[in-house]
Chains A and B, each alone.
Chain A
Amino acid sequence: MTNAWTDIKNTDLVIVMGGNAAEAHPCGFKWVTEAKATRGAKLIVVDPRYTRTASVSDYYAPIRPGSDIAFLMGVIRWCIENDKVQWEYVRNFTNAALLVKDGFGWSDGLFSGYDEEKRDYDKADWDYQIGDDGYAKLDMTLQDPRCVWNLLKAHVDVYTPEFVENVCGTPKDRYLQICEMIGECSAPDRVMTSMYALGWTQHSKGAQNIRGMAMLQLILGNIGMRGGGMNALRGHSNIQGLTDLGLMSNLIPGYLNIPTEREPDWQTYMSTREFKPLRPGQTSYWQNYSKFMVSFMKAMWGDAATAENDWAYHYLPKLDVPTYDVLRMFELMKQGQVNLYFCQGFNPLMAFPNRAKLTEALSKLKLLVVMDPLETETAHFWENHGQYNDVDSASIQTEVLELPTTCFAEDEGALVNSGRWLQWHWPGGSPPGEAKNDTWIMANLFQKLRKLYQDEGGVFPEPILNLSWNYADPLDPKPEELAKEMNGRALRDIEDPANPGTTLVAAGKQVKNFTQLQDDGSTMCGCWIFSGCWNEDGNNMARRDNSDPGDAGMFLNWSYSWPVNRRILYNRASADMQGKPWDPDRKLIEWTGEKWEGYDVPDIGVTSKPGEVMPFIMNQEGTSRLFTRGMMRDGPFPTHMEPFESPIANVLNPKMRGNPVSRVFVDDAEQFATSEEFPFVATSYRLTEHFHYWTKHNKVNASLQPEFFVEISQELAAEKGITGGSRVRVWGKRGQVWAKAVVTKRIKPMQCDGKTVHVVGIPLHWGFMGAAKKGWGPNSLTPFVGDANVETPEFKAFLVNIEPAAEEPVA
C-alpha cells in the first residue's frame, strides 16, 4: 500500500476492483465502512461476481475476468475527454511533459520492438529523449506530440465506451456511471482510493492491471494524498514483510537485487544502479544504493566483507536466468533437475497452478522437507486419498520429512501489514508437541551444515563458514536479535557530517534509521527499509500509542512503518507547487517556508524546497511515471491483452494469445485450452470463512463453510440442468474437480464480442487434509503461466467446462 489501512477512513470514494476487500480482508475493510459512515464516502465494486464487498457497495458493475486493462484505459480516456484531470498535479508531478524517443510506438496490440521468436521486446526506444545537458527533455505546455501526455492520449484513444462494453462485458451505462463517479475525484479536494489484491495480480498481465489504476490515480492527483493511493491488500498477515525481506528469487532484503551473470564484479553491478537524476536539482534517492548494499554485505559476512574484497561480492550467487520463481522451480523439478526441496510455510501442491504437474514434479524429488504448523497436502502428496488425491503411492520414491513449526500465535516477532507497519506481537500460547520456531530449525540446520563444511570442506565453503552468526545462542537466535540486526548498527564510530569532530553514532550502537548507513563498511544493516524499527529508542514496533493528531489517521506512535515511520508514501505530492496542501482539510505535510512538517513523516528532504525537488524522489526524474520507460517487460503503457485461455480473441490483434512476452514452457503451451472445447470462463477466489488452506484444519471455520463448491449463474445452471446443492463436475484441459453447485443471481452471463460469456466461480480452501469435507482447489484446473514481469500465476481467468455429476459414491 502507498497509504495505510487507517488512512482509508479519509477517502471520498473507494474503488474495489481486482479484489474483494470485504471478503478477503474483512478486518481492514472496517476503514471503508468508517469512511462511508463518517464522511459519506461511496464504494464502487467492479468484479465478475457480485461479492460480499458488492453487498455493501453504492454501485456495482460486472466485468469479464481478465479484461481490466480495457476498463481502466477506458476510464483514463473518459477522464481526458471530459477534462477530469488534476492538471497541476499531472503537469508537475507526473512525467506527462517529458518527451519520448521517436522510435517508440504501438500498433495491433503490440509496442515497437517486438520479437516473436524471443517473446520479448527490444526496449531501447521506450525511453525519454535526453538533451545535451544529460537531462530528459520536456515540454511543460504538453503541446509536443512526443510528450508522454500526448502519447498517452493517443494510446487510450481506442478504449471507447463501446470498446469497453464489448471487451469487458460491462453494460455501457454502468461503466459510464462509474466514470462519472471516478471523474469527480479529479478535484483537488476529492480523493479516491484503490483497493486491490490478487484479482489484479494473478493474471499474465497482472502488473499492468495495477499500472492502469496507478496511472488513473495520478491523473486524478490522488497519489500521496490522504485517503488516496494505490492500496495493495496483501494476502497474508506478513506477506508484505516476506516481500520486503526478499521473497522474490531475484531480490535480497530491502528490494536490492541479486546480481546476474552479466554482473560478475562489484563495479559492473553498481554501475547500473547509480540512478543519476534526470532533472536538474532533483533528488534521486537510489543514489544511496551502495550504502544499503554495503551495510547488507556487512550484516551477512561481517569482517569477511571488506573494501578490498568488494564486500565479499563474490559470495553472492549470480542469476543465470531472470528469476528462479516457483513456476520455474517446479518446471525444473518436473524435468528431474531438482533433488531436494525445502518447503517452508507454504503449501505448493494447492497454491501453484496445474496440480497434476506439481504432483509429477514432487514425485521426482529425492527429498522433500516440509516445515509447517499443519499437515499440508504438499507433505502428503504421495498419499492416496481416493479421487481427492488419486496417486499411486508405491511408485513415488520421494522421501518426505515433516518438521512441525510454531504458528503465528505461538511465536514472537513483527508482522508487516499491507500498510507497511511492522507490528510486534507476543506469543499467545505455547507450541504443541515437538513444534519449533522456524528460526530454531534453520539455525540448527545451519550449524550442522557449517560443521560439515568445516570438517569436510567443499567446493566453495567460504560464504557458509564466514556467515555472520552473532547470536547469544547460536542454535536459537531470538527475535530481538534478528530485529536489531535488520535495523543495523555502527561497527565503528561514525562522524557527524553536520558537526565534524563529533560522533553521530558510536561503535556498537544501533543506527537511528537508514539515513545513517554508510558505504565504507562502518555500518551493518540486514534490511535497510526496516532500519529504525529497533534503534537506541528501543523496539519501535512494539509501540501502542493510538493518539492521532488532527484526526489524520496517521498514528505515528503506533508500531513502526517503513520507511522511517512514514505512513503515506509520496506524501510530498499532497501539497501543491508552493507546498500548500491541495486540500486544507487533508493536510499531511506543508512547507513552512523553511521546512516540511505536518502529520506524517515527509517523503522528501525536510528542507528540499517546493518547486526545486519534485515529490517522487525514488525516480530519477522526480516525477511519477505515466509512461514507465523500459521498466516493464510488456510495455510502458498497459495495453489490452486477453488471458492465455480466453473465450474471445484479442480484438486488437486476433493472433495474439495472452501476454505476448509471458514466459511459457513448452509442455504448458500445449495444455492451453480453447473456448471451443472449454466454453466457460473460470475464476478463483477466497471466501471470508476461510484463510487459504489453513483454516480447513480448524473445526469452527470448517463448520462455517464445510464443503467445496462452485458458483454459477441461474442461466448457466438452467442451460446445463444443474440445481443448487447438487454435485457437478468441472473440468479443464489439465484436470477435473467435483463440487457442490451454488446457483446464484450474483453471477450473470455477459455479452463479449458477440458471445455470451458464462463465469464459473471456483473458491479455494478445500483439499484432502484437515477437518472440512475433502475437496479440491482451483489449481487442479489452472494454467501454468505467470505474469510477464513477476511470474504470478494466472489464477483469475481460465477456461473450463461443467456438467451435472452423480452424487458422491459412498466410500
Chain B
Amino acid sequence: MSDTAPQPTTAAANPPVQPLESNLLPSDVVRISATPDVPQPTRQLTKVAKLIDVSKCIGCKACQSACVEWNDTHPEIGENIGSYENPHDLTPDMFTLMRFSEWENPATNELEWLIRKDGCMHCEDPGCLKACPAPGAIVQYSNGIVDFIHDNCIGCGYCVTGCPFDIPRISKVDHKSYKCTLCSDRVAVGQGPACAKACPTKAITFGTKDDMTALANERVEDLKSRGYENAGIYDPEGVGGTHVFYVLHHADKPSIYSNLAENPRISPIVEGWKGVTKTAGMAAMGVAAAGAVLMGLFTRNKVEPEEEEAAERLVQDREGI
C-alpha cells in the first residue's frame, strides 16, 4: 500500500489489481463551491474524460446497474409508463439513465432509435459549483472531475438551478444532492468508472481527455463513412468543454437525443444572480447600513418640549369642549 495509483491511460488498458494509495488528493482541487481564492495546486493532473459513443450504445443499462452497485444506491421498483426508460428520470438513487427516443430521420425516412446515457457532464465550467452556496459542497479537481462532498451539502437545490443539463437530484431522505461522481473514488486508485467497466460494447470509454478526443474523432470518421454526414463530437464550448462527452450520429441536432441541450451554458440568470446581484446587493446593503448608522450617530429627530405642550393643549381643548 505504498504506491500511488497511476494516472489514467485508456479504458482498454487493464487497470491495476494491487491496492494503491489514492492519487486524487484534497490538494488537487482547483475550485471549491462558495470559496473564493482557492489556493491552486502545485501539480496539474492529466485531464480525464469519459467518452459516450451513442452510435455504439445498445441501451442495455449495464452502466445503470453498475452505477447502482458501485454507489450502493437503492432505486425504487417503479412501474412501466409506456417506455423503456426506468426509472423515468435521474434520481438521488440513479446517477445515470438511458434515455430512449424514436426518431424518424426526415432525410432518409429511416427510423432511428437513439439511446443516450444521461448523467453529469463534468463541465469545465460547472454551473452547479457556481450556484452552490455551501463552502466545500462541490469541488472540481485538476483532472476535471466535479464532485459533490456530501458532508458539506445543505440540500438547498441551488446546484439544480445552476446546472445547464438538469442533473443534480436532491434526496428526500438525507436532503443532499447526488449525481455521477465520475467514480472519483475509483479514478483515484487507477480504475475507470464503474459504468465504463460494465459497458459491453465500449460505448463508454474512459481515459485522458486527449486520448478520448482522438478516439472520438476516429469514431466520427467511421460514422461519416457509414453515411452519417453530420456525425460529430458533443463537447460543448459554452461550459468550457465537458469531461463526459458524446459521439453523436447527428451532432447538428443534439436535441433529438432526448432533449440534449443545444447550446448549454450557465444560464445568464444564474450568472447575474451569482455575479452582479451578489456584488451590487452586498454593496447596497452595506452602504445603507453604514449610512443609517452614521446618520443615526450624527443627527436625530427629536420632539421639542413646546410640542409636548402643544399636544397637551390640543387634548385638553378637546376634552374641555
A12-43 CB mask vs B (1 if < 8 Å, else 0) is 00000000001100110110111011001000
Nearest chain B CB to A235 CB, angstrom units: 16
Q: Which residue of B lies closest to A739 (CB)?
A: B80
Tell me whether B111 is interfacial, beta carbon within 8 Å. Answer: yes
* A26 lies within 8 A of B80 (CB): no
Contact of B102 among A689, A740, A745 (CB under 8 A): A745
Residues of chain A lying within 8 A (CB to CB) of residue B79: 706-707, 740, 773
* A688 lies within 8 A of B65 (CB): no
Residues of chain B lying within 8 A (CB to CB) of residue A23: 58, 60
Interface locus among B69-77, B185-193, B257-265: B69-77
* B58 lies within 8 A of A700 (CB): no
Contact of B58 among A37, A688, A705 (CB under 8 A): A688
Given A699-B74, A704-B65, A56 contacting B57 (CB threshold 8 A): yes
Contact of A55 among B59, B68, B69, B75 (CB under 8 A): B59
* A742 lies within 8 A of B82 (CB): yes
* A22 lies within 8 A of B60 (CB): yes
* A725 lies within 8 A of B81 (CB): yes
Q: Which residue of A lies closest to B203 (CB)?
A: A33
Tell me whether A702 is interfacial, beta carbon within 8 Å. Answer: yes
* A56 lies within 8 A of B55 (CB): yes
Nearest chain A CB to B14 CB, angstrom units: 10
Q: Which residue of A lies closest to B79 (CB)?
A: A707
CA separation between A740 and B57, bound complex, in Å? Answer: 26
CA separation between A60 and B58, bound complex, in Å? Answer: 15
Nearest chain A CB to B214 CB, angstrom units: 14
Q: Which residue of B lies closest to A705 (CB)?
A: B86
Residues of chain A lying within 8 A (CB to CB) of residue B110: 60
Residues of chain B lying within 8 A (CB to CB) of residue A742: 80, 82-84
* B80 lies within 8 A of A740 (CB): yes
Given A689-B61, A704-B64, A745-B111, A724 contacting B83 (CB threshold 8 A): yes
* A724 lies within 8 A of B82 (CB): yes
Tell me whether A50 is interfacial, beta carbon within 8 Å. Answer: yes
Q: Which residue of A lies closest to B66 (CB)?
A: A700
Contact of B80 among A50, A709, A723, A745 (CB under 8 A): A709
Interface locus among B174-182, B218-226, B272-280: B218-226
CA separation between A123 and B60, bound complex, in Å? Answer: 46
CA separation between A699 and B86, bound complex, in Å? Answer: 13
Residues of chain A lying within 8 A (CB to CB) of residue B21: none
Q: Restricting to A197-256, which residues have a CB under 8 Å from any CB of B?
A: none
Residues of chain A lying within 8 A (CB to CB) of residue B86: 689, 703-706
* A52 lies within 8 A of B59 (CB): yes
* A53 lies within 8 A of B80 (CB): no
* A707 lies within 8 A of B80 (CB): yes
CA separation between A23 and B58, bound complex, in Å? Answer: 7
A680-713 CB mask vs B (1 if < 8 Å, else 0) is 0000000011000000000111111111110000
Tell me whether B62 is interfacial, beta carbon within 8 Å. Answer: yes
Tell me whether B15 is interfacial, beta carbon within 8 Å. Answer: no
CA separation between A726 and B83, bound complex, in Å? Answer: 11
Q: Restricting to B197-232, which residues have a CB under 8 Å from any CB of A?
A: 200-203, 219, 222, 225-226
Residues of chain A lying within 8 A (CB to CB) of residue B115: 52, 55
Q: Which residue of B lies closest to A50 (CB)?
A: B111
* A29 lies within 8 A of B200 (CB): yes
* B112 lies within 8 A of A55 (CB): yes
CA separation between A745 and B62, bound complex, in Å? Answer: 24
* A26 lies within 8 A of B112 (CB): no
Tell me whether A771 is interfacial, beta carbon within 8 Å. Answer: yes
* B83 lies within 8 A of A26 (CB): no
Tell me whether A744 is interfacial, beta carbon within 8 Å. Answer: yes
Contact of B219 among A37, A702, A746 (CB under 8 A): A37
Query: In this complex, which of B61, B69, B112 has the most chain A Cβ atoms within 10 angstroms of its Cβ?
Result: B61
CA separation between A23 and B74, bound complex, in Å? Answer: 24
Residues of chain B lying within 8 A (CB to CB) of residue A29: 58, 200-201
Residues of chain B lying within 8 A (CB to CB) of residue A701: 65
Residues of chain B lying within 8 A (CB to CB) of residue A724: 81-83
Tell me whether B78 is interfacial, beta carbon within 8 Å. Answer: yes
Nearest chain A CB to B196 CB, angstrom units: 13
Tell me whether A54 is interfacial, beta carbon within 8 Å. Answer: yes
CA separation between A741 and B86, bound complex, in Å? Answer: 15
CA separation between A708 and B60, bound complex, in Å? Answer: 17
Q: Which residue of A lies closest to B201 (CB)?
A: A33
Residues of chain A lying within 8 A (CB to CB) of residue B226: 58
Tell me whether A772 is interfacial, beta carbon within 8 Å. Answer: yes
Given A33-B202, A52-B113, A744-B102, A704 contacting B55 (CB threshold 8 A): no
Tell me whether A743 is interfacial, beta carbon within 8 Å. Answer: yes
Q: Restricting to B10-42, which residues have a CB under 8 Å from any CB of A?
A: none
Q: Which residue of A lies closest to B112 (CB)?
A: A55
Residues of chain A lying within 8 A (CB to CB) of residue B78: 703, 706-707
Q: Restricting to A753-773, which residues have a CB under 8 Å from any CB of B?
A: 771-773
Tell me whether B312 is interfacial, beta carbon within 8 Å. Answer: no
Residues of chain A lying within 8 A (CB to CB) of residue B61: 688-689, 704
CA separation between A53 and B115, bound complex, in Å? Answer: 12
Tell me whether B56 is interfacial, beta carbon within 8 Å. Answer: yes
Q: Restricting to A313-332, which residues have a CB under 8 Å from any CB of B?
A: none
Q: Which residue of A lies closest to B78 (CB)?
A: A706
Q: Which residue of B lies closest to A37 (CB)?
A: B222
Query: In this complex, which of A52, A701, A724, A740 has the most chain B Cβ atoms within 10 angstroms of its Cβ?
Result: A52
Tell me whether B6 is interfacial, beta carbon within 8 Å. Answer: no
Nearest chain B CB to A72 CB, angstrom units: 24
Nearest chain A CB to B111 CB, angstrom units: 6
Q: Which residue of B lies closest to A745 (CB)?
A: B102
Given A27-B200, A688-B61, A706-B86, A50 contacting B77 (CB threshold 8 A): no
* B82 lies within 8 A of A26 (CB): no
Nearest chain B CB to A530 CB, angstrom units: 28
Q: Which residue of B lies closest to A741 (CB)?
A: B82
Tell me whether B87 is interfacial, beta carbon within 8 Å. Answer: yes
Given A37-B222, A704-B86, A52 contacting B58 (CB threshold 8 A): yes
* B68 lies within 8 A of A703 (CB): yes
* A26 lies within 8 A of B74 (CB): no
Tell me whether B3 is interfacial, beta carbon within 8 Å. Answer: no
Tell me whether B104 is interfacial, beta carbon within 8 Å. Answer: yes
CA separation between A52 and B86, bound complex, in Å? Answer: 16
CA separation between A54 and B59, bound complex, in Å? Answer: 11
Residues of chain B lying within 8 A (CB to CB) of residue A740: 79-82
Residues of chain B lying within 8 A (CB to CB) of residue A58: 226
CA separation between A33 and B199, bound complex, in Å? Answer: 12
CA separation between A56 and B54, bound complex, in Å? Answer: 9
Q: Which residue of B lies closest to A38 (CB)?
A: B222
Nearest chain B CB to A413 CB, angstrom units: 24
Residues of chain B lying within 8 A (CB to CB) of residue A699: 74, 77
CA separation between A3 and B78, bound complex, in Å? Answer: 41
Q: Which 3 A-B pairs have the closest CB atoms?
A: A724-B82, A725-B82, A22-B58
Besides A707-B80, A708-B80, A772-B77, 4 other CB < 8 A contacts? Answer: A22-B201, A27-B200, A688-B58, A688-B62
Enumerate 27 A-B pairs (CB-CB under 8 Å) in ascending A order: A22-B60, A23-B58, A30-B201, A33-B202, A37-B222, A40-B222, A52-B58, A53-B58, A54-B113, A55-B113, A56-B57, A56-B201, A688-B58, A688-B61, A689-B86, A699-B74, A699-B77, A702-B77, A703-B76, A723-B82, A724-B81, A724-B82, A724-B83, A725-B82, A726-B82, A746-B111, A773-B79
Q: Which residues of A contact B (CB under 8 A)?
A: 22-23, 26-27, 29-30, 32-34, 36-37, 40, 50, 52-56, 58, 60, 688-689, 699-709, 723-726, 740-746, 771-773
